[in-house]
Amino acid sequence: MRCETRDRGTANPQGSREFLKTRGEPDKFRSLLAGYGFALGATAIWSGNFLVARGLTDAIPPVSLAFYRWLTAVLVFAPFAVRGVVRDWPLVRQHKGYMAVTAFVGVTCFNTFIYIAGHTTSAMNLSLIAITFPVFVVAISRVLFNELLSVKRVSGMVLVLLGVVCLITRGEVARLLAIRFAAGDLWMLAAAVLFAVFSILLKQKPADISVYSFQFVLFVMGLLFLLPFFIWEQTREPGLFLNRSTLPAVLYVGVFASLCAFLLWQRAIGILGPARAGMIYYTLPLFSGFLAFLFLGERIGLVHGVSLVLILTGIFLANQAS
């Protein structure tokens, strides 16, 4: 009997491995599902940020808007993060160079460039250029980390781009051909590249630093890097620029588009990687269109349905790539 029991335990090690593998698959699925949920949540919030930011171009200078945004995020986040930062401070100091570069790219420059771009280019141009960010993620990942660029991923990217262009141009090629590029387009293109770099940098986050500590330190460092530019802008256009009409928008971009969205995006990057999470970013125009329908009364037609099918199909194909 004893011998029989021992045989049962050792006779089929392959079966045991298969059992453990099968057992782990639901956990992996749930993790991936959460990663896609985080990426979608961040993108949905950022779609609102684009609408708010464009509405404030005549009310607040770009650097001031960025400064108020991150100041709000730091003040709201501080009560929840300070204790963790004190605990993680030796690790933060150990990685201060990486933290400084990541903060400068993702906090100081990225959104400030978008706000600057919004002053000199059209909403259509901003949307078209913004969706190039995942392309830069894939390209940079390919060059630096030798990530595979499969046929499925390329096909998915093409479908997504077609869907987004169809959505933005409302299915009229003439709208795309009539686009004229301005100085702001270069700022937006630079912002797209910076966000790609930022997303790749997030993948290199030191594992021992908690998410809250990491994000709070990035916000503080980015705000400090932005301070000299804010002071310079104030010498040219002095004023607080905060009133009943602008304060709710500043609170939105400071709390939701900064704090909530960046935390969600960081979690998405950690689970999916920058290339896969970047593909979800292509849903940005869909969310923007839905918000425009809800709050601005813009109509939703057949072209939106076609765009939705193309974008979702493309994302599915691209994320099937090994």
Residue 161 pLDDT exceeds 80: no
pLDDT of residue 109: 96
Size of the chain, expressed as the number of residues it contains: 322
Cβ atoms of 55 and 236 closer than 8 Å: no
Q: Which pLDDT score, from 0 to 100, does residue 18 have?
A: 47
The pLDDT value recorded for residue 126 is 67
Phi-psi domain of 210 (left: phi exceeds 0; alpha: psi -120 through 50; beta: other) = beta
Mean pLDDT across the stretch 205-215?
A: 91
What is the chain's Cα-based Rg?
22
Query: Averaged over 277-295, what is the pLDDT?
Result: 73
Q: What is the pLDDT of residue 180?
A: 66
Name residues whose C-beta falls within 8 Å of residue 288's C-beta, 6 or more positions apart in sequence: 47, 50, 51, 127
When comparing pLDDT for 107 and 9, which is higher? 107
Mean pLDDT of 232-239: 91
Given a cut of 70, whether residue 6 has pLDDT beyond it is: no
Q: Tell me: pLDDT of 285 over 80.
A: no
Cβ proximity of 301 and 151 under 8 Å: no
> Who's near 304: CB < 8 A, 6+ residues apart?
167, 286, 289
Tell me how far the alpha carbon of residue 143 is from its chain's centroid: 21
The amino acid occupying position 177 is L
Percent over 70 (pLDDT), the chain: 77
CA–CA separation, 153 and 49 (whole Å) = 28
Whole-number pLDDT of residue 10: 46
pLDDT interval class at 7 (50, 70, 90): very low
Say whether pLDDT at 12 is over 60.
no
Arithmetic mean of pLDDT, 258-286:
83
Lowest mean pLDDT among 131-140, 208-217, 232-241: 131-140
Which of 270, 203, 254, 213 minimizes the C-alpha distance to 76?
254
pLDDT band per the 50, 70, 90 thresholds, residue 4: very low
Question: Of 7-21, 39-53, 153-167, 224-238, which gets the smallest average pLDDT?
Answer: 7-21
Stronger pLDDT, 298 or 171, i.e. the higher one: 171
- Residue 149 pLDDT > 50: yes
Name residue, tokens 């160079």: 97
Residue 280 CA, chain-centre distance (Å), reads: 9
- Encoded tokens for 237: 């256009």
In this prediction, residue 289 carries a pLDDT of 67
pLDDT of residue 83: 94
What pLDDT score was predicted for residue 100?
97
Q: Which is more confident, 89 or 285?
A: 89
Q: pTM of the predicted model, to two decimals?
A: 0.75
Q: For residues 269 and 102, which has the higher predicted lDDT (pLDDT)? A: 102
Residue identified by tokens 């986040």 is: 77
| Statement: residue 194 has pLDDT above 90 | yes
